Amino acid sequence: MASVGKLYVDGIYARFSYLATWLPNSNLKLGDVGVHQGAEFKQMTTLKDLAIPFRVRKGVNSVDFSCTSESGVTVKTKVAGEAIAGTALPLGSVGMSIQFSRQGAFLFHAAQCIADEIDDKAALGQAVISLVKSGRWEPGWAVIDTVVRAGTATIVVSNSGSAGLDLTVKTPEALANLANLEGGFSVASQSGDILQFIAAKGLAPLFRLSRVKQSLVSRLLGRTSAITFGGPTLDEDPVVSDEEPFESVAPR
**Buried b / exposed e across 105-144, counting CB within 10 Å, b at 16+?**
bbbbbbbebebbbbeebeebbebbbebbbeeebeeebbbb
Instruction: Tell me how far CA of residue 51 lies from CA of 43, 46, 117, 134, in angstroms.
Output: 16, 9, 18, 14
DSSP class of residue 181? G
How does DSSP classify residue 21?
P
Tell me the C-alpha distance between 195 and 176, whole Å. 21
At residue 249, the pLDDT reads 92
**Domain spans of the chain?**
4-82+89-211
Cβ atoms within 10 Å of 242's Cβ, excluding its own: 4
Give the closest residue to 154 by CA, choosing from 76, 58, 215, 66. Answer: 66
- Among residues 122, 145, 186, the alpha carbon closest in space to that of 41 is found at 145
Exposure on the CB side of residue 226, measured as CA atoms within 13 A: 14
- Residue 43 CA: distances (Å) to CA of 47, 200, 201: 11, 24, 23
Mean pLDDT by 10 residues, the chain (252 residues): 92 97 97 95 97 95 95 91 81 91 97 95 88 89 97 96 92 80 85 95 96 76 44 43 76 87
Taking CA atoms, 178 is separated from 65, 151, 170, 186, 198, in Å, by 11, 12, 12, 11, 8
Contact 144, 249 (CB under 8 A): no
**CA 80 to the chain's CA centroid:** 36
The per-residue pLDDT for range 48-65, each reduced to its tens digit, is 999 999 999 999 999 999
Which of 12, 227, 212 lies closest to 121, judged by CA? 212
